Structure 1
Amino acid sequence: MKRAWYLGYSADDIGDRAILIGDPDRVDRIATLLDEPRFLPVSRGLKSVTGHHADRTVTVAAFGMGAPIATIVLHELANLGITRFLRIGTAMYFPPAQGGDFIISSSALGFDGTSPSYLAGDAPYPADARLIEALHKSATAAGQSVRDGIYATYDAFYRDMFGIDDAGRERAAANRELLKEKGVLAVDMETSGLLAAAKALDVVCATLCLGTVDALSQEKLDPQTLAQGERQLFEIALNGLCALD
């Protein structure tokens, strides 16, 4: 029986669609929305659960941080037969997005090292249009609004995205100007790699994130609003992903 190299799972352990999530603690929280959740053995800190939602079997898999690990998880699950993927989590945002907004990737620009390994060229990597539509319908049904926009993905958080020293602040400031010129709405560490890998592997993928850090002021969303938004994020994601045939 074929097993994933790092995750250690077989096709019998997983569903036909997956939510990819950074923080492993969120796996426990989203599992409360699944019927008959079954936690899978943890390997290399990669925590996953498989359960049922809206008559679908869904696997939620944590990857930690960064495109290299996230794409390993997607690639291994795709190799076992999963064909529909949705990354959820948090992202930095640019106006007109605001803190607490839900932001869907229409496409992503890759400033990471993983994307070119799957697709050549620097044009934005597209997200799946059918999944984007399903997420919009799910958000509307939940009484929430979402924004579509271009994501940009970087590897070096404290150099390219959020400076905590002089060198990082200078570089991140230059990147912000570049991203504003390109009309980027959200910035993260995974989406470009995931969309490029999904395109190369012929599977469905998009990102849905809660905007939590203002890219210009670096102001963070308050904890109460974050907790409320996370619950709504889970519901929109599960209902949208499970609506796909």
Structure 2
Amino acid sequence: MPIKESELILNPDGSVYHLNLRPEDIANTIITVGDPDRVDTVTKHFDTVEFSTHKREFHTQTGTYKGKKITVISTGIGTDNIDIVFNELDALVNIDLEKREIKSELTSLDIIRIGTSGSIQKEIPLNSFVISEYAAGFDSLLHFYDSEHVQYFEISEALKKQTNWFNKKSDPYVVKCSERLLKKLSSNKTINGFTATNVGFYGPQGRILRLAIQDKNLNDKLANFNFKDKNITNLEMETAGIYGISNLLGHHSLSMNAIIANRATGEFSEDPKTIVENLITYTLNKIIDKD
């Protein structure tokens, strides 16, 4: 049965509603960034840029880097945007948009996030690269899907217990990256981490300006969390949503984090643009590396 027009919304030119993309516009390897302006920061390294479009916070360019076709797309901030971007990217490769039917043969995308993050562990220094092996989502996104088979309940239960999790907050979920991409992009320049994905930048990450927060010790509790020698290493706002939706849809995803702040020491990078630039070039070169 065809998917209803209200469920899969297409623009008059046949492109998916929010991203303004058609199937031929994207590669099977995709880099996501939060900031629309960061798309140009990535694609300036490309040999060619063959396609570009920009709608709302979703800026997309597709081109080649040392002969490999890659798409770079901005998601904006937060897992609500991840829900839009990843469902629409999947629709481009796995739904026949003219017939509005799921294809019999499905395509698996490689999706790599390049983003900034703050460490909550003193020993993870500024300007380092953290790869999110696991991610804990403090939003509710994954609970709206049939997702229990991709969650690590033993870890999330330990997290709630060790932090004395406030029961009016969203129930944390824990998901994992693609093992294949983890192996491909890891090196002696990277640190394997366990990332907490927050629902905001200020209160949800323990920042206090004028508003009091429910648990002023939460960051310390997260930093002290331990499950079979796994510690939460850093905070950001997209990774758990990326891993959750990717796992459900059968795509491979990995989150690369440039550590520009250390919340434990109160430090902030003196040159965040350079560390992000270094992470971009590192990631591009690892993508084209022959295994």
TM > 0.5: yes
- Aligned pair 1:179/2:179, yes or no? no
Q: Does the 8 A contact of 2:206 with 2:218 survive in 1?
A: no
- Aligned pair 1:132/2:182, yes or no? yes
Q: CA RMSD in A?
A: 2.1
Secondary structure of the corresponding residue to residue 29 of structure 1: helix
- Write the letter of the residue equivalent to 2:184: A
Q: Does the 8 A contact of 1:131 with 1:244 survive in 2?
A: no
1:64–1:172 CA distance, 2 compared to 1 (3 A): farther
Q: Which moved more, 1:69-78 or 1:103-112?
A: 69-78
Which of 114, 135, 138 pairs up with 1:88?
114
CA distance in 1 between counterparts of 2:206 and 2:261 reads: 10
Q: Does the 8 A contact of 2:47 with 2:66 survive in 1?
A: no
Q: Does the 8 A contact of 1:91 with 1:187 survive in 2?
A: yes
Q: Does the 8 A contact of 1:20 with 1:60 survive in 2?
A: yes
CA distance in 1 between counterparts of 2:132 and 2:59 reads: 24
Match of 1:67 in 2: 79
**Higher Rg:** 2
Q: Does the 8 A contact of 2:206 with 2:219 survive in 1?
A: no
Which of 108, 133, 143 pairs up with 2:135?
108
Match of 2:286 in 1: 240
The two structures have a TM-score, normalised by structure 2, of 0.75
1:153–1:191 CA distance, 2 compared to 1 (3 A): same
- Write the letter of the residue equivalent to 1:133: K
Secondary structure of the corresponding residue to residue 37 of structure 2: helix
Match of 2:194 in 1: 150
Q: Which moved more, 1:213-222 or 1:118-127?
A: 118-127
1:201–1:243 CA distance, 2 compared to 1 (3 A): farther
- Aligned pair 1:227/2:273, yes or no? yes
Of structures 1 and 2, the one with the larger relative CO (CA 8 A, separation 6+) is 1
Superposed displacement of residue 220, structure 1:
1.4
Secondary structure of the corresponding residue to residue 3 of structure 1: coil
Runs of 4+ with >6 A deviation? none
Unaligned runs of 5+ in 2: 1-12, 94-107, 157-173, 226-230
- Aligned pair 1:197/2:248, yes or no? no
CA distance in 2 between counterparts of 1:159 and 1:72 reads: 24
Q: Percent sequence identity over matched residues? A: 24
Match of 1:51 in 2: 63
Superposed displacement of residue 2, structure 1:
5.4
Superposed displacement of residue 190, structure 1:
0.4
- Write the letter of the residue equivalent to 1:229: I
Pairs aligned (count): 236
Give per-residue Cα distances to partners, 1:194-230, cap 9 Å, x unaligned: 100011001000100100111224421112xx22212
Q: Which moved more, 1:38-47 or 1:197-206?
A: 38-47
- Aligned pair 1:77/2:127, yes or no? no
Say which structure is richer in helix: 1
The two structures have a TM-score, normalised by structure 1, of 0.88
Give per-residue Cα distances to partners, 1:164-196, cap 9 Å, x unaligned: 33545x446322122113220111100001100
CA distance in 2 between counterparts of 1:90 and 1:162 reads: 17
Q: Does the 8 A contact of 1:107 with 1:151 survive in 2?
A: yes
Unaligned runs of 5+ in 1: none
